[in-house]
A and B are shown apart, each in its own frame.
Chain A
Amino acid sequence: MRPLDAIGYGLASLGSNRIRTLLMLLAMSIGVAAVVLLTGIGNGARLYIVDQFSSLGTNLVIVIPGRAETASNTPATLVGETPRDLTLADARALARGDAVQRLTPINIGEMNIAWRGKERQVPLVGSTAPILEIHHLQMDRGAFLPEEDMEIARPVCVIGAKVHRELFGQQNALGELVRLGGFRCRVIGVLGSEGRSLGLDTEELVIVPVAFAQMLLNTEGLFRILIEAKDLGVIDRLKTHIKTTIAKRHYGEEDVTIITQDSVLATFDKILKVLTLTVAGIAGISLVVAGILIMNVMLMAVAQRTAEIGLSKALGAGQLQIMAMLVTEALLLSSIGGLIGLGLGFAGSWLAVQFYPALNATPPPWAIAAALGTALGTGFIFSLLPARRAARLDPIRALAGH
């Protein structure tokens, strides 16, 4: 039989039992659509997070006190204690590297802010002027923290838009004195309402000079130090600079953890890829179920078409040809079902994008290939048994089965 004739013959035989064919197409297409849609959403989530990180600038290096990666089992690590704090002096020393573009120390805490009897609790960030650039913060009005030595505990603050709204309402906040913990400090600026970096809502923030924050929070230690490298090429040099500087200052111990955006990105990327693969695998199971359905229905079809199969044998079709005819039917079913499923999957991702424009839910090419491949594969594998049964039918009995 010629390939085109085989396809035509297969299509005709599929068309002769519409309901059965439609049910199998439905099963196949739902399976493929599930794979396409779920991997699309998984991939979209991955791209979204990667994008969020890149918006921070990928040449950012974060220094965290204590070693997380290569901790040995000392009593200190058992109780989770940081052996030595990162201090402002460390930050100053780190700032002297030639690979450093900008550097800012960070301290965080919770603090009460009050103005004329109104009071609320806010997340407090102690930092320096460069954080504006590093974190891409926007100013609504006024000025940001002054560019000056990080040791100066100037009692000024920059407040988030929501804090401003709740404490001052329509009134002017610039130049007003607010009470922050036990200290008074002057409001010098208001942050813009846009922007949310890494979980901290900038609308609710209060930012003060880092030395002032240390005073307020009564601590010497820093939460972390953010360092922006001059460019991506010098990140390795910057890391060495951080290690040697800290080791020199901490009596030979490299007791800090250095996180580059790349490594964070890579980790998230890996996690989300595995997640995407997992959901794809779960969706793949539905494809296998569809395959089993195809097998059952094909077995039924073989039983129904016994006479036709016997006849084909009498008319000169060999076992292989009979098998090829039935497998062709199954492959036609799974490829048509697969294409419909692709259509449904893409329609679903398109819909998802309409509802969540931030989610770029494009199914990755490998998922499309895998879904179609699995559809064809299950169609093929699960049609082999019925096809073999058909091919082995005794033509005499098959013809007598009338």
Chain B
Amino acid sequence: MIELREVSRIFHVGGQEVRAMDRISLAIQPGEYLSIMGPSGSGKSTLLNTLGLLDTPDSGAYLLQGQDVTSLNDAQLAAVRSRTIGFIFQFFHLIPRLTAQQNIELPLLLAGVSRRERTLRSTPLIEAFGLSDRSNHRPDELSGGQRQRVAIARAVINKPAVLLADEPTGNLDRHSGADIIELLEGLNQGGLTLVVVTHDPEVGERARRQIRVVDGRIAADVRRA
């Protein structure tokens, strides 16, 4: 469902050329559980951003669900993001003035879904994620783990095909981190494609397929039996 063909991305930093992605080819099947690991500056974030259509490659082709997305314009990209991709960030990125429920419903709001429909879709998620008693609280009244749950609920409310997580446990204590990983794995078992970028080997090694990125190239692509 995701296929990168010879994708490159070059940044110019202080007159120097940095190859964040150097002719990367990668295919991800529906329902896969994939982790991307690598040292800082290896290009793993660029890879994730490219997969999430936030960054456009300089060369190569990107086929998402059979559609070449490299030539889409801004509005089309936004529409594809809205329909097929869910994001989770290290720093949660919840909007402080909105309640947990409003944060979860934000993608629906942006997509122009009616209030009735939004509530209809967010309520079961809030219950499933154990946030029922926190749904009217603002982010600053939630714990780190709860915030990340809200962020995950927000990422999946549009029923995306793929969930992209950038250091989802990076800002959490061990216990909450393990909690969040379990939640994500549960979603993956439900059929959602899951891509996790992480520094943490303990998190990365849980994935069934592990990719190691070094200097903008895939150095290892290991499938766990």
Expressed in whole angstroms, the Cα–Cα distance for A28 and B166 within the complex equals 43
What does the 1/0 interface line of A201-234 toward B look like (CB < 8 Å)? Answer: 0000000000000000000000000000000000
- Docked complex: A374-402 residues within 8 A CB-CB of B: 395-396, 399, 402
**Residue ID in chain A nearest B45 by CB atoms:** A396
- Residues in A neighbouring B77, C-beta threshold 8 A: 318
* A312-B82 Cα distance, complex, nearest whole Å: 10
Which size class do A's interface residues fall under? 20 to 34
Q: Nearest chain B CB to A37's CB is how many angstroms away?
A: 35
Residue of A nearest to B81 (CB): A316
- The verdict on B87 contacting chain A, using a C-beta distance below 8 Å, is yes
The contact of A1 among B52, B75, B83, B112, by CB within 8 Å, is B112
The answer to whether B97 and A12 have CB atoms under 8 Å apart is: yes
Q: How far is the CB of B212 from chain A (nearest CB, A)?
A: 22
Residues 46-88 of B, flagged 1 when their CB comes within 8 A of A and 0 if not, give 0001001011000000000000000000110111011100010
A396 contacts which of B49, B83, B93 (Cβ < 8 Å)? B49
**Quick one: closest A residue to B75, CB to CB?**
A318
Q: Are B74 and A316 in contact (CB under 8 A)?
A: no
Q: Give B105-122 interface residues, CB cut-off 8 Å to A.
A: 106-107, 109-112, 114-115
- Chain A nearest CB: distance from B151 CB in Å? 10
Q: What is the minimal beta-carbon distance from A304 to any residue of chain B, in angstroms? A: 11
- Write the A328-358 contact mask toward B (1 if CB under 8 angstroms, else 0): 0000000000000000000000000000000
Interfacial chain B residues near A13, Cβ < 8 Å: 97
Q: Which residues of the other chain, A, contact B107 by a CB distance below 8 angstroms?
A: 315-316
Of the candidates A16, A312, A313, which one forms a contact with B97 in the assembled complex, judged by CB atoms under 8 Å apart?
A16
The 8 A CB mask of A310-323 against B (1 = contact, 0 = none) is 11111111111100
Output the least CB separation between B148 and chain A (Å): 14
A308 at interface by CB-CB < 8 Å: yes
Q: How far is the CA of A319 from the CA of B114 in the complex (A)?
A: 22
Q: What residues of chain B lie closer than 8 Å to A320, measured between beta carbons?
A: 75
Which one, A12, A15, A314, A318, contacts B54 given CB within 8 A?
Answer: A314
Residues of A within 8 A of B210 (CB): none
Q: Is the interface of A mostly helix, strand, loop or mixed?
A: helix
* Contacting residue for B74 out of A308, A319, A396, CB 8 A: A319
B158 interface hit (Cβ, 8 Å): yes
Q: Is B98 an interface residue (CB 8 A)?
A: yes
Q: In whole angstroms, what is the CA distance A315 to B79 when docked? A: 9
Tell me the smallest distance from the CB of A140 to a CB of chain B, in Å.
74
Complex alpha-carbon distance, A9 and B78, angstroms = 19
Asked if A316 and B54 sit within 8 Å, CB to CB, the answer is: no
Binary contact readout A259-298 vs B (1 if CB under 8 angstroms, 0 otherwise): 0000000000000000000000000000000000000000
Q: Using a CB-CB cutoff of 8 Å, which residues 25-63 of chain B contact chain A? A: 45, 49, 52, 54-55
Which one, B89, B106, B110, contacts A321 given CB within 8 A?
B110
When the two chains form their complex, are residues A399 and B82 in contact, meaning their CB atoms are under 8 A apart? no
Chain A residues with CB under 8 A of B106: 312, 315
Shortest Cβ gap from A326 to chain B (Å): 14
Task: Determine if B154 is an interface residue (Cβ-Cβ < 8 Å).
Answer: yes
Please name all residues of chain A whose beta carbon is closer than 8 Å to the beta carbon of B81 when the two chains form the complex: 313-316
A15 to B52, CA, bound (A): 32
A307 part of interface (Cβ distance < 8 Å): yes
Q: Are A318 and B79 closer than 8 Å at their CB atoms? A: yes
Q: Which residues of B contact A9 (CB under 8 A)?
A: 109
Our pick among B96, B110, B114, B115 for the contact of A315 (Cβ within 8 Å) is B110
Contact B98 A319 (CB under 8 A): no
Candidates A308, A317, A319, A396; contact of B55 at CB < 8 Å: A396
Kindly state the separation between the CA atoms of A311 and B93 in the bound complex, as whole angstroms: 7
B219 lies within 8 A of chain A by Cβ: no
Q: Does A147 contact B (CB under 8 A)?
A: no
Q: A314-B52, A319-B74 are in contact. Are A5 and B109 (CB under 8 A)?
A: yes
Q: A317's contact among B52, B78, B93, by CB below 8 Å, is which?
A: B78
CB of B95 within 8 A of chain A?
yes
Nearest CB on B from A131, distance (A):
75
Task: Chain B residues near A308: list those with CB within 8 A.
Answer: 93, 95
The contact of A318 among B55, B74, B96, by CB within 8 Å, is B74
Nearest neighbor of A15 in chain B, beta-carbon distance? B97
A311 — which chain B residues lie within 8 A by C-beta? Answer: 93, 95
A118 within 8 A of B: no
A5–B115 CB distance below 8 A: yes
User: What's the least CB distance linking B46 to chain A, in Å?
Assistant: 8
User: How many angstroms between the C-alpha atoms of A12 and B97 in the bound complex?
Assistant: 8
**A325 smallest CB distance to B (angstroms):** 9
A116 interface contact, C-beta 8 A: no
Known interface pairs A316-B83, A316-B158; A396-B54 also in contact (CB < 8 Å): yes
Q: Of all chain A residues, which has the CB nearest B48?
A: A396
- In the complex, which residues of chain B have a beta carbon less than 8 angstroms from the beta carbon of A316? 78-79, 81-83, 107, 110-111, 158
Q: Are B54 and A402 in contact (CB under 8 A)?
A: no
| B residues in contact with A5, CB < 8 Å | 109, 112, 115
Which residues of B have CB within 8 Å of A16? 96-97
Task: State whether B89 touches A2 (Cβ < 8 A).
Answer: no
Given contacts A1-B110, A313-B81, A317-B110, 11 further A-B contacts (CB under 8 A): A1-B111, A2-B114, A16-B96, A307-B93, A308-B93, A308-B95, A311-B95, A315-B87, A316-B110, A318-B74, A321-B78
The 3 closest A-B pairs by CB, nearest first: A316-B82, A318-B78, A16-B97
A contact set with B: CB distance below 8 Å = 1-2, 5, 9, 12-13, 15-16, 307-308, 310-321, 395-396, 399, 402
Q: List 19 A-B pairs, Cβ < 8 Å.
A: A2-B112, A5-B109, A5-B112, A9-B109, A16-B96, A308-B95, A312-B110, A314-B54, A314-B81, A315-B81, A315-B87, A315-B106, A315-B154, A316-B111, A319-B74, A319-B78, A320-B75, A321-B110, A402-B91
